[in-house]
Amino acid sequence: MDNATRASGDQSFLGRAFDSYQNMMQITCCLREAARQRSIEQPIVLELLRRETGLRDYMPEARITRFPTHEKNQPILSNPVALPFADKSFDACLITDVYEHLPEQLRPGLLREMLRVTDGLVLIASPQGNEIVTRFDRVVFDFIWGKYAERFEPLEQHAKFGLEPLEQMLESLKAQGADRVVTLPCNYVYRWIHQILIFFDLQYKHSHGDLFEPLNRIYNERLSPYDYREPCYRYLIAVATHREISLDVLFDKLKAPKETPALVADTDGVLVRTFRVVESNLADKLRSCSAELDLLRGHSSWSKQEIEHLNSTIRQLQQDNEWAKADIEHLHSVIEQLQSDNQWAEREIEHLRLHTSKEGDPEALME
């Protein structure tokens, strides 16, 4: 990409993971170039997506419609594929990190539908199926399994559904009616493998991933522009469906500049120094977390003692409550006995009163 094209991206994205940054910058540059050629200020874009890509961040001027192809990483497209949009209703339509995660039987129908709904530019970003990419996928999968004991589902789906060779994808597009196609390399594979292993070793699942942003920034700013070359991990396939779009101009705009050994050597030095800073910051964070952990352990010990004291109090109160219940029950029994005695006394008093009354009545005595 030329300097002007690269500069069109927001610099705040430089701290993002390298492969996502490279991929989305290339897609954004293609969309903007196609819009420029057609003098469209706010292109209408259809994004078919498996997961969040951040396209809205990279291209805020676009009017983006998002349509899911997966749910919980599993394909949900109908067979045959039928997108619920009218013919030629979008200036651009794209997929990235989707094609290789679909069963083979769905892929031609998806391409056909993308071409149908687009009057402008269709973009398909996908790893290519060849020996080196398949081998490197396996290296990364085994690394993740070895470090995290996790079967990384995206890479599992690469093997399950299969990565298509570039030639097969181009033939499939041709069979669906695409006649103007250009292929753009992305993720220079011999740097990609190093960077992706570094990512999964250091950043993946890290609770303080933001500390690695300076390292990502150096790589994305200094080396990423030169990684749009072959041999590559993935291709971005661009299909023109509007006569005003020149793929030759787009290809020239997206061509990677020539890399010099001096640039690489200088960047290596900067990366090493930056990594040392990141490592130092991580050590500081580790010490801070360790001190916080000690404090939490102290609080936890005090809390345990308080809980034990409260549990002891609760047990005593429960025991006192049982005693109180027994006393109350006894008092109820005493009260009932007193009430019974009282009733008996009242009857005796009444009997005595009647008897005394009879003794004082002469007529009662004569009877």
Identify the CA nearest to 229 among candidates 171, 182, 190: 190
Within 8-106, residue ranges assigned H as helices are: 18-37, 55-58
Q: Write out pLDDT tens, residues 63-111.
A: 999 999 999 999 999 999 999 999 999 999 999 999 999 999 999 999 9
Residue 50 · residue 70 · CB < 8 Å: yes
Q: Which three-class secondary structure state does DSSP give residue 10?
A: coil
Once rounded to an integer, what is the mean pLDDT over residues 152-170?
Answer: 96
Once rounded to an integer, what is the mean pLDDT over residues 231-251?
Answer: 96
Q: Write out pLDDT tens, residues 3-46.
A: 434 434 445 788 888 999 999 999 999 999 999 999 999 999 99
Q: What is the pLDDT of residue 1?
A: 57
- pLDDT > 70: percent of the chain: 94
Once rounded to an integer, what is the mean pLDDT over residues 237-254?
Answer: 95
| pLDDT band per the 50, 70, 90 thresholds, residue 137 | very high
- pLDDT > 90: percent of the chain: 59
Q: What's the count of helices (H) and strands (E) in the chain, helices before strands?
A: 12, 8
Identify the CA nearest to 170 among candidates 99, 232, 231: 99
Residue 232 · residue 185 · CB < 8 Å: yes
Checking if the pLDDT of 358 tops 70, the result is no
Q: What is the pLDDT of residue 263?
A: 86
Rounded Cα gap, residues 300 and 304, in angstroms:
6
Average pLDDT taken over every residue of the chain: 89
Least confident span in 30-34, 179-183, 195-199, 319-323: 319-323
Which of 108-117, 193-202, 274-283, 355-364 has the largest mean confidence?
Answer: 108-117
Query: Could you write out the DSSP letters of every residue in 304-347?
Result: HHHHHHHHHHHHHHHHHHHHHHHHHHHHHHHHHHHHHHHHHHHH
Q: What is the pLDDT of residue 193?
A: 96
Q: Write out pLDDT tens, residues 258-282.
A: 888 898 888 888 888 887 877 777 7
Q: Report which secondary-structure segment, H or E, holds 299.
A: helix 261-359
Long-range (24+ apart) CB contacts under 8 A made by 194-203 are 195/18, 195/19, 195/219, 196/19, 196/140, 197/139, 197/140, 197/143, 199/17, 199/18, 199/19, 200/140, 200/143, 200/144, 200/147, 201/143, 201/147, 203/17
